[in-house]
Amino acid sequence: MKENVAVICVDDEMIVLTGLKSQLNNKFNRRILIETVESGQEALELYHELIADGYSIPVIISDQIMPGLKGDELLIKFYEIDPEMKFILLTGQASPDAVGNALNKANLYRYIAKPWDVEDLNMTVAEAINSYFQVKEIRKKEEERRQLLEELKVANESLEQKVEERTIELQLEKNKTEDLLLNILPREIANELKSTGASVPKHYQQTTILFTDFKGFTSIAAQVTPTDLVAMLNECFTAFDAITEKYHLEKIKTIGDAYMCAGGIPSVNTTNALDAVGAGVEILRWVDSWNAGRMSQDLPELPIRVGIHTGELVAGVIGSKKFAYDVWGDAVNIASRLESNGIPGKINISEATFSLIKEHFTCEYRGEIEVKNIGALRMYLVLDKIQTASD
């Protein structure tokens, strides 16, 4: 039996109260405090005193016919205070209406007529007390479970928020990684590497390769610090990057002061010769403007040569470390020779490229020029774009 437990007995006849108290004390060996009062009002006052003293009150035993509050009325008031309490109506003069009222409005636990059977009343009170504390324990566990669920809900929401925040962080990091990868490799090649772990070099029937190189760069490089030299090249190549992107060309690499890009790879198209020549024209214009700015600051100009050739090649990624998209084939060597055999401030193109752009650009034939390790090549200088009605 739980400590600090009390039962309140209410009856206007002292002899009844005395008998009840003696009987219940014997039943529970005085482990439960049995309190007696002679009216409903006294019972309510006593209840609050006992609660203040730390007692639990599982059972109220009340007579029906009493001065002031009747039994059913008293039990209804107690029910409003604590609906878990068990109420026993112990009376010899209770109308069916009073019992019904107690049943409907106070959840009457048991009606026992006077004179009562001692064992019956003892068993009823014991069962009522056990039932009260069982319900209390269930309610307590339900409340603990509710609080635990609420704590879990809060913790889960916090965890979900942290997961969401971390997911966003990871996505941002993934985007940065992918952006970095796409700055190194074409999207198609990057996607292939991510999905298969390898990329097979591909053959392209028609591509156009563009090379640029600054004349006199070596002598200029000897006159400036490495930091200034890199800053100068970065300024130029950043501008070239924007131009090649505008004309749908793929930047391949830079070697010293040389810049290389190609059209028609990795996405095949039939406009790569026009795209490359258009980019070459814009690169020349940018360099002219850049050199004008240098000369206004008493800095030496750096003329640029541009060489362009159209042909077949193989492009892709080889090796297993430090991936780089590259191109191989005679077309690459010829484009490089066209640049080195070009004229500063001009675009030098092969006959293969000329045949594809001659309807769009005016060109000047240079004749056959002997090229190291290749032989004689027919070369053309691009002069200007032919204006059309749509331009």
CA distances from 151 to 114, 154, 156 (A): 52, 5, 8
Q: Which residues of 67-104 are buried (b: 16+ CB within 10 A; e: fewer)?
A: eebbbbbbbbebbeeeeebbbbbbbeebeeebbebbbe
User: What pLDDT does residue 324 have?
Assistant: 84
Domain count, the chain: 2
- How far is the C-alpha of 121 from the C-alpha of 107, rounded, in Å? 18
User: What pLDDT does residue 331 have?
Assistant: 95
User: What pLDDT does residue 391 have?
Assistant: 56
Local structure of residue 301 (DSSP, 8 states): P
- How far is the C-alpha of 314 from the C-alpha of 298, rounded, in Å? 44
User: What pLDDT does residue 246 have?
Assistant: 96
Report, as ranges of residue numbers, the positions in the chain whose pLDDT lies below 50: 1
Which CATH number characterizes residue 304's domain?
3.30.70.1230
In-domain check, residue 111: yes
Which CATH number characterizes residue 38's domain?
3.40.50.2300
Helix or strand holding residue 48 (H, E): helix 40-52
Residue 374 in contact with residue 380, Cβ under 8 Å?
no
Judge if 119 and 208 occupy the same domain. no
Judge if 277 and 132 occupy the same domain. no
Helix or strand holding residue 330 (H, E): helix 330-340
> Do the strands 5-10 and 304-316 form a parallel or antiparallel pair, or are they unpaired?
unpaired
In-domain check, residue 160: no
Judge if 237 and 368 occupy the same domain. yes
Judge if 221 and 368 occupy the same domain. yes
Judge if 319 and 232 occupy the same domain. yes
Judge if 341 and 260 occupy the same domain. yes
Judge if 297 and 228 occupy the same domain. yes
Q: Answer with the one of 119, 141, 163 that is the final residue of a domain.
A: 141
In-domain check, residue 173: no
Record the pTM. 0.60
User: What pLDDT does residue 193 have?
Assistant: 74
User: What pLDDT does residue 1 have?
Assistant: 47
Residue 34 in contact with residue 7, Cβ under 8 Å?
yes
Q: Cβ-count burial of 379 within 10 angstroms (0-12 exposed, 13-18 middle, 19+ buried)?
A: buried
Provide the domain limits for residue 43. 5-141
In-domain check, residue 294: yes
> Do the strands 5-10 and 56-62 form a parallel or antiparallel pair, or are they unpaired?
parallel
User: What pLDDT does residue 89 have?
Assistant: 94
Mean pLDDT for all residues in the chain:
91
Closest C-alpha to 209, from 287, 281, 275: 275
Residue 60 in contact with residue 78, Cβ under 8 Å?
yes
Residue 87 in contact with residue 109, Cβ under 8 Å?
yes
- How far is the C-alpha of 79 from the C-alpha of 74, rounded, in Å? 9
In-domain check, residue 157: no
Closest C-alpha to 303, from 335, 340, 343, 338: 343
Q: Answer with the one of 126, 141, 156 that is the final residue of a domain.
A: 141
- How far is the C-alpha of 276 from the C-alpha of 251, rounded, in Å? 11
Judge if 207 and 355 occupy the same domain. yes
Written as six digits, the tokens of 205 are 């029937």
Residue 303 in contact with residue 216, Cβ under 8 Å?
yes
Judge if 129 and 255 occupy the same domain. no
In-domain check, residue 79: yes
Helix or strand holding residue 283 (H, E): helix 272-296
Judge if 134 and 208 occupy the same domain. no
Provide the angle, in degrees to the nearest 10, between the axes of the packed helices 71-81 and 40-52.
20
- How far is the C-alpha of 139 from the C-alpha of 354, rounded, in Å? 92
Judge if 250 and 381 occupy the same domain. yes
> Do the strands 202-214 and 86-91 form a parallel or antiparallel pair, or are they unpaired?
unpaired
Q: Answer with the one of 141, 167, 183 that is the final residue of a domain.
A: 141
Judge if 132 and 207 occupy the same domain. no
